[in-house]
Structure 1
Amino acid sequence: MKAIVCTRYGGPDVLRLAEVATPVPADNEVLLRVRAASVNALDWRLMRGKPLIARFIAGGMRRPAHAGVGRDVAGEVVSVGTGVTRFAPGDAVFGACIGAFAEYACAKVDRLVPKPAHVSFESAAAVPVAGTTALQALRDSGRIKAGQRILIDGASGGVGTFTLQIAKALGANVTAVCSPANVDAAHAMGADRVIDYTREDFLQDGQRYDLVVGANAHRSIFDYRRALREAGIYVMAGGGGSQILQGLLLAPLLSLAGRRKLRFVGAKLGLGDLHVLQGMLAEGKIVPVIERRYALHEAADAVRHVEAGHARGKAVIVMP
């Protein structure tokens, strides 16, 4: 079978299309015929091995422990391991695995849920990592409540589009910060107010928020802290290397001073949250935004586009 592999750390040029053996599912796994996969910031961070924590996630300091690339997956079950009873050959599913950028991939059963019948494989593949990140940022780290005023910085990216839609589904009043090209799209997704960051600075308008989510955090953690009401919460769900370090190192310390809390969220994929997202997807509460579609041999271009930081929604790799 054909698969994208990464055997050393570096830029998108280290990704290559290779002929590899079709994997065999373990007792608690299923073999999927991959129909679609999507690209996340996680993928290019693991590819580059930066920041350093990415190398621990990838399982190797000198090179990735697994050559397979990609996490988000949607496809059809081909065969199941001896201990699998939840799925059978022919089932359409979505979730997460290692090595989703391939014609076939093995996934653990506790990382998969059935795909809603009316939802395309492409849309389903866009959900797992970004959707889980958004859900956990709002519900677990942000302690979201209906009626709260929420600011989402980076509302038009992969995580941001899900954060906006989930926040509205949970009853929040949402202010979305995005580029001028994405203002109309943010309104269409339900934002109560949209700030074009080239024309306005959300710190200068006097508004303060119960919850601020940095879906693509470009500013200092101190700026986001200033945007909070008393007892407000800032959750960093994405950003550059310096922002990640601030989220990991400074957020716990700054949270000790006063009632404002600052938190960093990294998605913890699990069956429970996949079921929540499955329900929202089936009910139309979240509608994945897909900006571009790529063939498998164009995976490096897809990763390069997402790494550039200006993707509108998700980039999806589609199998023939």
Structure 2
Amino acid sequence: MKAITQSRYGTTDRLTFDDIPTPVPEDDEVLVAIDAAGLDMGVWHRMSGLPYVARTDSGLRRPRRQVLGTDFAGRVAAIGSAVVGVAIGDEVFGTADGTFAEHATTTADRIAPRPSTLTAAESASMPTSAVAALQALSDKAEVIPGDRVLVIGASGGVGSYAVQIASALGAHVTGVASTPKLDHVRNLGAQDVIDYTQDDIDTTGHTWDVVLDGGGNRPVRQLRNVLTEDGVLVFYGGEQGGRWTGGTGRWLRGLLLSPFVSQRLRVLSSNVDRSTLLEVVRLTDAGRINAPIDRTFSLADVPAAIDALRAGTIRGKAIVVPCSVSTRDS
């Protein structure tokens, strides 16, 4: 099968469009034919091996996984002997190891039936980003109707879903983005926007009940200054910082400070499973969230897709479609 592979950490120049054997599912695994795969910053971190602390999961010297990609939508092609509740031919979406390929293996608890109202490409944009946004708002921040929510990085993958989900929960949403992306954020449902190239979050005179920090590298003190006295700050991203810890240093400082202040400072560790995917399906079928897809790339063009994401030129989500799947099917 065709796949995007890597044998060493580095830039997109290290990626290869290759022919490799189709994986065979273990007894507890499902083989899926990939119709579309989602791209998020986690792919860049696994490709580059940065920050270095992330290599404790992905491999210290070399990547443990040969094929990049996690999110997908596709069809069940084969099942292991111990798998129940899944049948060959089922249209599913979720996460797997190595989805920038024509096939990948996963387990039944990492997939769910694909939303009936969405294409494969739209469904593939959701697992990591929509689930992270949902868990940040519902589980970590416990947003209720009337809350004022500030989404930093509102034009990104998680941010685009966070704006929509916060609005669906009845919050008043302010999105932070650059000038070319403000209309995108407004169209997602943000009542107010902040152009960070003109103003910063602490120059508006406003405070928020909830701040989701997924962009930039603002100091914890600055983020706390725009929170209400009992507000909630949730870290879910931030791609700046040193090569060793990246943006995780701020997260640690926030967690250490949280027990001593009235504000609640929390870090999102998102987990994609069947129950959270089904909640995303519910919101989708109810018309509360849509897939904010900016561009679709062929499998061979994954390096260009990653470069575009890293350069910040993607609004919302980028999708990868394998060579054997036409864009009409996705």
TM range (shorter): over 0.9
**d(CA) in 2 for partners of 1:260, 1:269:** 27
Percent identity, aligned pairs only? 38
Matches within 5 A, 1:147-162: 147-162=146-161
CA contact (8 A) 2:217 2:247 kept: no
Which residue in 1 is equivalent to 2:181? 182
Which residue identity is paired with 1:99?
G
TM-score norm. by structure 1 comes to 0.96
Is 1:272 aligned to 2:275, yes or no? yes
Which residue in 2 is equivalent to 1:129? 128
Shift of 1:85: 2.2
- Alignment equivalent of 2:254, drawn from 251, 275, 278: 251
Which residue identity is paired with 1:83?
A
Indicate the SS of the match to 1:256.
helix
Indicate the SS of the match to 1:207.
coil
Which residue in 1 is equivalent to 2:328? none
Which residue in 1 is equivalent to 2:23? 23
**d(CA) in 1 for partners of 2:226, 2:311:** 27
Which residue identity is paired with 1:101?
F
- Alignment equivalent of 1:312, drawn from 286, 301, 315: 315
Is 1:103 aligned to 2:102, yes or no? yes
TM-score norm. by structure 2 comes to 0.93
Shift of 1:52: 2.0
**d(CA) in 2 for partners of 1:55, 1:158:** 23
**d(CA) in 1 for partners of 2:239, 2:185:** 23
Gaps of 5+ in 2: 326-330
Post-superposition Cα deviations, 1:275-310, rounded to whole Å, max 9, x if no partner, equal 111211222211111111100001111111112234
CA contact (8 A) 2:255 2:267 kept: no
Which residue identity is paired with 1:36?
A
Is 1:53 aligned to 2:15, yes or no? no
Post-superposition Cα deviations, 1:138-166, rounded to whole Å, max 9, x if no partner, equal 11221212210010111111110000001
**d(CA) in 2 for partners of 1:310, 1:222:** 29
Post-superposition Cα deviations, 1:1-60, rounded to whole Å, max 9, x if no partner, equal 1111111111111111111111111122211110000111111101111112321221x2
**d(CA) in 1 for partners of 2:182, 2:27:** 48
Indicate the SS of the match to 2:105.
strand
Which residue identity is paired with 1:255?
S
**d(CA) in 2 for partners of 1:258, 1:239:** 23
Is 1:302 aligned to 2:301, yes or no? no
Which residue in 2 is equivalent to 1:209? 208
**d(CA) in 2 for partners of 1:19, 1:162:** 34
**d(CA) in 2 for partners of 1:310, 1:265:** 25
Which residue identity is paired with 1:305?
A
Indicate the SS of the match to 2:202.
coil
Q: 1:248 to 1:186 in 2, by over 3 A?
A: closer
Which residue identity is paired with 1:49?
G
Shift of 1:221: 2.1
Post-superposition Cα deviations, 1:52-111, rounded to whole Å, max 9, x if no partner, equal 2321221x2000111121000110111111112212111110000110000111111100
**d(CA) in 2 for partners of 1:54, 1:301:** 23
**d(CA) in 2 for partners of 1:245, 1:100:** 26
Shift of 1:234: 0.9
Shift of 1:241: 4.1
Shift of 1:257: 2.8
Which residue identity is paired with 1:69?
L
CA contact (8 A) 1:221 1:246 kept: no
**Structure 1 stretch displaced more, 281-290 or 158-167:** 281-290
Shift of 1:200: 2.5
Which residue identity is paired with 1:11?
T
Q: 1:217 to 1:235 in 2, by over 3 A?
A: farther
CA contact (8 A) 2:39 2:318 kept: yes
**d(CA) in 2 for partners of 1:311, 1:218:** 19
Is 1:287 aligned to 2:290, yes or no? yes
Which residue in 2 is equivalent to 1:168? 167
**d(CA) in 2 for partners of 1:116, 1:196:** 34
Post-superposition Cα deviations, 1:212-254, rounded to whole Å, max 9, x if no partner, equal 0012233222211111010111111111242622333201122
CA contact (8 A) 1:217 1:237 kept: no
